[in-house]
Amino acid sequence: MDLLLTGGAVFLDGRFQNLDVAISDGRIVSVSPALPREGFSVIELHNRCLVPGFVDVHVHLREPGFSYKETVFSGTAAAAAGGYTAVCAMPNLNPVPDIPEHLRAQLDIIEKNAKIRVYPYGAVTRGERGEELADLAALAPHVPGFSDDGRGVQSEEMMRRAMALAKKLNRPIAAHCEDESLLQKGWAVHDGDFARRNGLPGNDPASEWRQVERDLGLVRETGCQYHVCHVSTKESVALVRAAKAEGLPVTCETGPHYLVLCDEDLLDEGRFRMNPPIRSSADREALIAGLLDGTVDCVATDHAPHSAEEKSRGLRGSLNGIVGLECAFPVLYTNLVETGAVPFETLLNALCVNPRRIFGLPGGRIAAGQIADLTALDLNRPGVVDSGSFRSLGHSTPFDGWGVSAAVALTICGGEIAYHNLQNPEEVLQ
């Protein structure tokens, strides 16, 4: 399909410009004011913002192995509805993609059922058990990086060996940083005032930042490109900031829930439980400061769906994980940009530009010759987060019922419409 997107404010070179965008054969062919319409199906954007498609570098699509929680089809449909044109899928699956045969099983499902681009991580260790390295060399040509997300690599020597090999293979390691020796058994929430007031076992922030500290020492030794997943503590932000100042090849992400919530906002419901937990207001402020100064590179949802029953046991008994793909942008825009806490351009860089730069993914610039992965945003579209309407099989989000002021209007992946929420049917194709 040849498309002409007209009347939009195009995010290009760090600012918005009134330009038309022509698409043919899955690529952008022209970006210019007032392009001719002949030969194109026209979508009228009516001053909506047109940005590179969002990329989430941290999602759990649950397939193969756990399709009762999510499938590649449902998860990527949710992603498209959230404005995402690409996601990086974590390897805590069954089988774990630790050898090419296991990765092939996952790729077959992706090729058949994905509505957007899916880049699967390879595991760092066999079965994510931390005992033996996965077949990193054989996996490397097919993955954007390696991760043992969900547990993390407990052995320093195992992580050293993984980093040394990943460096040779020119692939990053995306690390779930959690020192299990520092965790209180049965923890439910952040180890802070809320935990103490409610008699709940707490998760010590040191369990995260001490492993970040350990791994940064290994980066100095090996030179491995290193990405810290779901940073949640002020200490981790400070460590990453110092590592970047030192010139180490280090990046990090945080999640919408860590930027918008703190532990004072918790309710005793499973939709508030994830790992790492929502932390203190001081941690939240440090994460926002890190986003502003470039310490925090990406905002990633850690979309981790579970069944309704698995999330029905309150803070103590529910499994860790929430969904976020379908509400991330409206929640972030409403609570960070509209409040003046974060410039819109900074948020867009964290959603569109930096994820591609870090993991070497295509796109990220609206220019002739680039892949046509684009998202149109309506910044004046009041609504309410309604988890019951999610395309994801998971519906557990702390943002259910929140009022928002913006919405995703259109998602185009590879030149094809993956999702649209345009208000008038005649806007879709003219």
Q: Which residues are catalytic?
A: 302
Number of H helices and E strands in the chain, helices first, is 13, 19
Q: Cα separation of 426 and 43, whole Å?
A: 9
Exposed e or buried b for every residue in 258-291, given b needs 16+ CB within 10 A? Answer: bbbbbbeebeebbbbbbbbbbbbeebbebbbebb
- What are the Cα distances from residue 263, in Å, to 210, 259, 272, 280? 21, 12, 9, 5
Q: How far apart are CA 119 and CA 51, in angstroms?
A: 21
Torsion of CA 52, 58, 63, 69, to 10 degrees: -110
Q: Is residue 341 a contact partner of residue 288, using CB atoms and an 8 Å limit?
A: yes
How far is 97 from 122, CA to CA, in rounded Å? 6
330-358: string of b/e by CB count within 10 Å (b at 16+)? Answer: bbbbbbbbeeebbebebbbbbbbbbbbeb
| Tokens, residue 221 | 């030794």
Candidates 388, 381, 373; CA nearest to 338 is: 381
- For residues 81 and 76, what is the distance between their CA atoms, to the nearest angstrom? 8
Structure tokens at 299: 């905002």
Question: What SS3 state is found at 249?
Answer: coil
Separation between Cα atoms, residue 301 and residue 58, nearest integer Å? 6
Residue in the block written with tokens 């500290």: 213
